Amino acid sequence: MRKDSKNYFSGIDIYIGLDVHKKNWDVSIYVDNIHHESVHISPPLTKTLTEMLRKKYPGGQYHVVYEAGFSGFWIYDELTEQGIDCVVVSPADIPRSNKDKKFKTDRNDSRQLAKKLRAGLLEGIYIPEQIQREHRALVRLRDKLVKDRTRLKNYIKCNLMFFGKEIGKDYEDTTCWSGKFMEGLLKIAYLTPEGKEVLLETIKMLMVYEEEIKELDGKIKQLSKKSEYRQNAGILCTVPGISTLTAMIMLVEIGDFTRFEDTNKLKSYVGLIPQEHSSGEKEVKTGITRRGNKFLKRVIIEASWIAVRRDKTLLSLYSKLIKRMKGSKAIVVIASTLLNRIRSIIRKQEPYRIAA
């Protein structure tokens, strides 16, 4: 039978590993246990990949894998639309031998992806819907602007310290950039116009960030009123410590709460599980894992600090915990408890009830 026959690879699994880069892809193709070829695709287009597969491996059952990263999920979207099975994996979840780490090349990476996919060693990550991704991008943009604003504030304070400038005793708390504090900044004198100009320009940039963040807050609030978020956002806002912004961060980052079989799976996704190292009978736990969703981890812990002051049950638990551990560790336990309650009220579609 000729290899260009329409169904030559019918019923045969074709495993394709993609090492994705901005300007090109390295592609490795395995048929059963055999490495058939490695190709270089530039410019990187799913159309080029699918046409090549259907021409060289007609009728095959294609399975594509690539690492999550800067490229997002558009490759997954386009391949899935064309009926090709695609898996996106976290780089941290790919088992690598010492040899793989020392001899790391783009071609070798793509081959390892294809081999491990064929061996069933890779588990795909959750792929959010396209609309959810765009809403998530809006909320994450606010987080980025807040971080940029903080960096700019730190730059202003460093500039003042560098030149030995003081705002005055009334403004020692530089964590609260109030209107009076800003007025105090503007009154600081420099020896040259250029020195003053640096301060004025940075303050002007700071005002731009303030306006942009305020505008985004309004857009996120509007988003929370849309039909797909309105009900769940309202339920989450009944939880002590959770504002509309926090509720929207949780909703766009988690998506469907019911996709988690139990609370432990949700805690793992957020990153509220301990790091564990064990050997033989020895088991060591060293604080919470660095993995997980950093946006969710931060907001749930921030909400927990407020919740312990408003919910007597959580306060009682926190009081018991700090007798045997630091407050920073105790609040993680509170965050896990609060997350469990949040999952419960979302599943039951009922408001949070604070213990009397």
Mean pLDDT of the region 130-139: 96
In this predicted structure, which of 116-130, 238-252, 286-300, 328-342 has the lowest mean pLDDT? Answer: 286-300
pLDDT higher than 60, residue 39 = yes
Domain ranges of the chain: 13-118, 130-224, 231-348
User: What is the residue-wise DSSP string for 310-326?
Assistant: H-HHHHHHHHHHTTTS-
Q: What is the CATH number of domain 13-118?
A: 3.30.420.40
Number of H helices, E strands in the chain: 13, 7
Give the pLDDT score at 288: 66
pLDDT at 356: 62
Paired strand residues for 276: 285
Beta strands at 13-20 and 282-288: parallel, antiparallel or unpaired? unpaired
Task: List, for residues 158-187, the tens digit of each pLDDT value.
Answer: 999 999 887 755 555 556 788 888 888 888
* CB within 8 Å of 136: residues ≥ 6 apart: 128, 252, 253
Identify the helix (H) or strand (E) that includes residue 329: helix 327-348
Report the C-alpha gap between 87 and 68 in whole angstroms: 10
Q: What does the CA dihedral 221, 226, 230, 232 come to, rounded to 10 degrees?
A: -100
Question: Tens digits of per-residue pLDDT, 195-231?
Answer: 999 999 999 999 999 999 999 999 999 999 999 999 9
